């Protein structure tokens, strides 16, 4: 009779850290607690921990994340803000299915190094970067996402890269599905210097 090798137990210190950090643990947090990365690798290989991305671990038997890509990117790049089509998808203002996470960073910031999920970075001026940030709790983790109004304005600003149709579709969905905040739209348009561009579309659609 072949006996199964007993599965390693999750050390109490790692379990405590996971609970304290919303169920996801960074390698750096483990190091600060005196836990060697080799321990994390062994638990991952044994199926006790799941590796979300480089340096990110969670309970292997935890419920599936509802937004694994957004959570992973938020944990790997906490200063970034989900933007453009990724933000439109979150706010249900597009029919497009994002195949990458579009992330805003201030100009001059260190570019992210993430193997998975794929990330496309957009560099914003400091004033445009700081405007319209919302913080959402996804799977017990903080994720920074631009508000619907700021996202709409950004889509018009980057219309040459995303396509004007994307911005117009989002504007139409915004009118149908949300309370229109015209003052916020105009304010963000001024911050992003596209007030003259977006005004005719606002007048026509809203």
The answer to whether residue 130 scores a pLDDT higher than 90 is: yes
Phi first, then psi, for residue 33 (nearest 5°) are -90, 5
Q: What is the DSSP letter of 4?
A: P
pLDDT bucket at 8, cuts 50 / 70 / 90:
low
Contact 104, 85 (CB under 8 A): no
What distance lies between CA 192 and its chain's CA centroid? Answer: 21
CA-to-CA distance for 42 and 47, rounded, in angstroms?
Answer: 9
Q: Percent of the chain scored above 70 by pLDDT?
A: 94
Rg for the chain, CA atoms, rounded: 21
Residues 6+ apart with CB under 8 A from 56: 24, 25, 26, 27, 72, 75, 76
Domains and CATH numbers, the chain: 12-59 (no CATH), 68-205 (3.30.460)
What b/e sequence results for 16-45 when a residue is b if at least 16 CB atoms lie within 10 Å of its CB, and e otherwise?
ebbeeebbbbebebbeeeebeeeebeebee
- pLDDT by residue (tens digit) across 35-83? 888 888 888 887 878 777 777 787 777 777 778 899 999 989 999 999 9
- pLDDT by residue (tens digit) across 150-195? 999 999 999 999 999 999 999 999 999 999 999 999 999 999 999 9
């Amino acid at each position: 009779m072949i006996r199964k090798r007993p599965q390693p137990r999750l050390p109490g210190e790692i379990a405590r850290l996971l609970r304290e950090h919303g169920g996801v643990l960074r390698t750096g947090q483990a190091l600060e607690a005196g836990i060697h990365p080799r321990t994390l690798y062994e638990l991952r290989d044994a199926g006790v921990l799941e590796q979300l991305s480089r340096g990110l671990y969670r309970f292997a038997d935890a419920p599936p994340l509802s937004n694994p890509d957004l959570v992973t990117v938020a944990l790997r790049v906490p200063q970034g803000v989900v933007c453009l089509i990724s933000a439109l998808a979150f706010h249900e203002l597009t029919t497009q299915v994002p195949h990458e996470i579009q992330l805003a960073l201030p100009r001059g910031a260190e570019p992210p190094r993430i193997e998975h999920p794929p990330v496309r970075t957009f560099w914003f001026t400091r004033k445009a970067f700081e405007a319209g940030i919302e913080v959402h709790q996804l799977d017990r983790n903080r994720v920074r996402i631009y508000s619907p109004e700021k996202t709409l304005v950004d889509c018009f600003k980057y219309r040459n890269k995303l396509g004007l149709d994307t911005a117009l579709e989002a504007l139409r969905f915004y009118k149908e599905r949300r309370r229109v905040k015209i003052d916020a739209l105009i304010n963000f348009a001024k911050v992003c210097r596209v007030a003259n561009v977006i005004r005719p579309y606002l007048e026509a659609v809203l």
